[in-house]
Structure 1
Amino acid sequence: MPIVLGLVLHESHRTVYEEAARTLSGVRLEWIGYQHEDEIRPRVEDLFGRLHVDGLMLGQVPFARVRDVIPADVSVTVTRSAGLDLSVALFRAAARGWRATPVSIDTFDPETVDEVVRALEIERDQVSCLPYDPAQTVDEIVDFHRTFTANTGAEYAISVRTAVTARLTETVPVLNAHPGSSTIRANLHELALRVQSQKADASRFAAGVFMVVNQDVQSDVDRARIGLMNLLVNAPEFSDAWIENRDRRGVVAFAHRALFEQATDNWVSMSILGRAQQTLGIRVAAGFGVGASARTCVQLAEWAAARAEQESAPAAYLVEDGGVIIGPMGGSDSGTPLNYTYREHGGNFEELARRAGLSAATLSRLAALERSLQGRPISPSDLASSLGITDPSGRRLIRKLGESGLVTEEGSAQLHRKGRPTRLYRLGIGAAAAEDERDDQRA
């Protein structure tokens, strides 16, 4: 799938952004334009509701309005006007025959203003700067410019805010210092490279070592290891991992870093450790290693597991070949992105899973995903991403669900100009479970 970047911008700046994006290829851009600031939040929410977005680029004002709705896994770049943009605005003033000072400037950082003023040898005490503050209203910024102009006789003002420019133009000439195409291009390329780097990092090979702790009798150790092996093999979050015995006390798993990252809720918690203690009555220490080779990954994972053994409760550690160490990750279930709640659906949920050829836990994760989608269709690749499995596994899962009548095809989406459209599917697990429950009641 191509990288998907969302661009949130005022419609008056679209031409500049399109020029900046002209040199970028291999990326799908989603344009979120607005005329009024009140339109920003619902349109960004709609974007996240429709698509899996890898990165988001937006200005300071839009960011202040939507920062709480941006998913944690989305890379964000907040565009800010640079010193070059302020210098261009001052040169435009000179080209029109206006005096360089006095002048009022909003939104720029004082440090940027000081740097430009020194470089252009402008009197700093004749320049008034109002730094960006999310709590500032448009009225307050307009009053700042009008007051300064009235007190000093300034011939013009410099603003980054489109709404401020529109309000001032009738009384005070305004030069807009919004980021130019070069600034936007640099930010856009940096965001795309950062997302690409994160995707490459997620695809790195990794190993996990799970060790049974404090089993005194050898037969108990063997029984605990077999139970741990079965628990990992049947856990949906490890469905795409290669799992095998490591020694008499442990199990080793091999997978991409992204799988382990999702299983630990971004290296915060490790729910399967808690499940091992609750269902098997054993304490497990886990270690994850990320390195340049399989041997290095296993060595780092063994070191991390040995460190986790020193904790008094079930725990996990991550060790990377670059020296990064994260831990301890606890065994709480609270960090699991999709809870395994199939018991809440009633006994017929296990029968529904059996007919579909899936485990009840996997079907429950799909039911939780269906609830989060709130009726929206999903592509096989997005489904795979949500479950932490590969795209081929996602397509196989869709086929299984289709054979059981648990998904319906809902058209297609064209992700990019070339290539075939991607089919979209609507999950129907909740409806099927409810129908089975009604059949039981009628019987």
Structure 2
Amino acid sequence: MVIGLVIHASHRAVFEDAARTLAGVTLEWIVYEHEDAVRELVDGSLARQRVDGLLLGPVPYAKCRDLLPADLPVAILRSAGLDLSLALFKALARGWRPTPVSVDTYDSQTVDEVARALELDPAQITCLPYDPEQSVAEIVAFHRAALARTGADYVISLRTAVAAELRQSTPVLGGLPGPATLRAQLHELALQVQSKQASALRFAAGIFLVGRAGPQLDLDRARVGLMNLLLNTPEFGDAWIDNRGRRGVVVFAHQALFEQATNSWVSLPALNQAQETLGIRVAAGFGVGASARSCLHLAERAVARAEQEESPSAYLVEDGGVIIGPMSPAGAALAFTYREHGAELERLAGEVGLSAATLSRLSAIERALEGRAISPSDLAQHLGITDPSGRRLIRKLSDSGLVEVEGSTQVHRKGRPARLYRLRIGSAVDGGAAVPAEAAR
């Protein structure tokens, strides 16, 4: 497991201390000196190596959010009330008055809770909650105005650039969540990554059938040759491979192995190898389900569909209703079908900037909801992705007019209400075009 940490150079020692209790994880350090360098550094890291999860502060996240894959688990650092309390006690230890004080980045609710817990007057704490649109100059101006108005002795700032600017004339505390907060968020991200990786370990089955090519073809001999070819294919090294009647071979493995062997369900080079080295045409079908029996049943449906193609090909059928195919032997572009709307879904996926598989999953969820609205976190749970990824996906769908706001819900008494959205993928497919975001509103 590889977790990327996007941090300011001055914070590395604190993060190293927080990560000491995290075993089995390789850390990819993405270290910047200035906020403007974040985007290029993150882009380079994502291109250079596969990162399973990313931990970064709200400012770096705002700089590079559009670069992050929708399915990448992302944790955004949030300073807790404990960190604000420690900063206030640190001020007291230095002989400064705890209040009045000017604070940035913390949300108002956290500030009020800490003030009540420490029996401080909330009116004496001037707070500027985080806003990605605010510049460093604007935040500095806010603090200087608050200092002039209240006569505060110091500032609590979580922005490195802001603190550097203010320290020329004003004492500044803060700048980073404490080790306990960092450690908790690192552990939580590692668990999210682990959960995602576990979903890739769902059981799956594949069936490879030798095509019927007339009486001159020795099916038994062709099947043995096909089985030997698969046994010697590196991508299937960890799979269980066995005979399946005169024409076929069955392969059992985790879903992740088949995804790797098919380039994420795009192509299957083994089909081309069978034709070139053995002179036989092969059709393949993959099934992903809740049990070995269901996987095998779905793979049988998939291979029956592949046999109807004019050239060697493969299909995937999942228990959620998704059908992907035909996969080409050598890696041509993915053709995707879902019931009778294959071409429309593929076209719409290209316009929206999502994969056809993701869009078809969303279409299946929309059908299951039967017109009911859904929150971003519930959508993330349906797709097996993290809540931040679910929110990013909702934003992308909203920009293309594929969701519309449908009120809100208050799951917990404390905390912000969650917005609800109604999926509109079916109407976009039937209508032949995605609806512009402005029209959706």
TM-score, normalized by length of structure 1?
Answer: 0.56
Q: Is the 8 A contact 1:63 1:78 kept in 2?
A: yes
Within 5 Å, which residues of 2 pair with 1:132-143?
A: 132-143=130-141
* Aligned with 1:208 (options 191, 199, 205): 205
SS of 1:64's equivalent? helix
* Aligned with 1:20 (options 18, 21, 26): 18
* Correspondence for 2:331: 339
Within 5 Å, which residues of 2 pair with 1:369-384?
A: none
* Correspondence for 1:175: 173
Distance between the aligned counterparts of 1:68 and 1:193, measured in 2? 24
Q: Is the 8 A contact 2:268 2:331 kept in 1?
A: no
* Correspondence for 1:38: 36
Q: Are residues 45 and 231 of structure 1, via their aligned partners in 2, closer, same or farther at CA, if it must alter by over 3 Å?
A: farther
Answer with 281-290 or 26-35: which moved more.
281-290
* Correspondence for 1:301: 295
Q: Read off the aligned partner of 2:318 and give its amino acid letter.
A: L
* Correspondence for 2:188: 190
Q: Is the 8 A contact 1:245 1:251 kept in 2?
A: yes
* Correspondence for 1:289: 289
Q: Is the 8 A contact 1:86 1:177 kept in 2?
A: no
Q: How many residues align?
A: 319
* Correspondence for 1:54: 52
SS of 1:255's equivalent? strand
Distance between the aligned counterparts of 2:302 and 2:133, measured in 1? 45
* Correspondence for 2:316: 316
Distance between the aligned counterparts of 2:102 and 2:74, measured in 1? 30
Distance between the aligned counterparts of 1:49 and 1:264, measured in 2? 21
- 1:6 aligned to 2:4? yes
* Correspondence for 2:152: 154
Q: Is the 8 A contact 2:105 2:130 kept in 1?
A: yes
Q: Deviations over 1:198-224 (max 9, x none)?
A: 45554x472325599xx9xx99xx99x
Q: Read off the aligned partner of 2:331 and give its amino acid letter.
A: N
Q: Read off the aligned partner of 2:203 and give its amino acid letter.
A: A
Q: Are residues 164 and 243 of structure 1, via their aligned partners in 2, closer, same or farther at CA, if it must alter by over 3 Å?
A: same
SS of 1:179's equivalent? coil
* Correspondence for 1:101: 99
Distance between the aligned counterparts of 2:228 and 2:107, measured in 1? 52
TM-score, normalized by length of structure 2?
Answer: 0.57
Q: Are residues 247 and 144 of structure 1, via their aligned partners in 2, closer, same or farther at CA, if it must alter by over 3 Å?
A: farther
Query: What is the aligned-residue identity percentage?
Result: 49
How large is the Cα RMSD of the aligned pairs?
4.7
Answer with 232-241 or 19-28: which moved more.
232-241
Q: Deviations over 1:226-252 (max 9, x none)?
A: 89x969967979644445554689763
Q: Are residues 53 and 96 of structure 1, via their aligned partners in 2, closer, same or farther at CA, if it must alter by over 3 Å?
A: same
* Correspondence for 2:431: none
Distance between the aligned counterparts of 1:150 and 1:310, measured in 2? 77
Distance between the aligned counterparts of 1:114 and 1:250, measured in 2? 68
- Structure 2 residues not aligned, in runs of 5+: 334-441
Q: Is the 8 A contact 1:210 1:285 kept in 2?
A: yes
* Correspondence for 1:327: 322
Distance between the aligned counterparts of 1:12 and 1:187, measured in 2? 19
Shift of 1:22: 2.7
Q: Is the 8 A contact 1:205 1:254 kept in 2?
A: no
Q: Deviations over 1:316-344 (max 9, x none)?
A: 3334xxxxx362435467xx9x9359xxx
Q: Read off the aligned partner of 1:208 and give its amino acid letter.
A: A
Distance between the aligned counterparts of 2:300 and 2:119, measured in 1? 62
Distance between the aligned counterparts of 2:21 and 2:169, measured in 1? 39
SS of 1:15's equivalent? helix
* Correspondence for 1:385: none
* Correspondence for 2:260: 262
Q: Is the 8 A contact 2:203 2:289 kept in 1?
A: yes
Distance between the aligned counterparts of 2:315 and 2:109, measured in 1? 46
Q: Is the 8 A contact 1:89 1:177 kept in 2?
A: no
Shift of 1:113: 2.4
Within 5 Å, which residues of 2 pair with 1:351-430?
A: none
Q: Read off the aligned partner of 2:316 and give its amino acid letter.
A: A
Shift of 1:148: 2.3
Q: Is the 8 A contact 1:17 1:184 kept in 2?
A: yes
Shift of 1:282: 11
Distance between the aligned counterparts of 2:64 and 2:97, measured in 1? 39
* Aligned with 1:165 (options 163, 166, 170): 163
Q: Read off the aligned partner of 2:253 and give its amino acid letter.
A: A
Distance between the aligned counterparts of 1:119 and 1:303, measured in 2? 60
Shift of 1:304: 3.9
Q: Deviations over 1:140-186 (max 9, x none)?
A: 11112122222333332221001101111233332214111111122
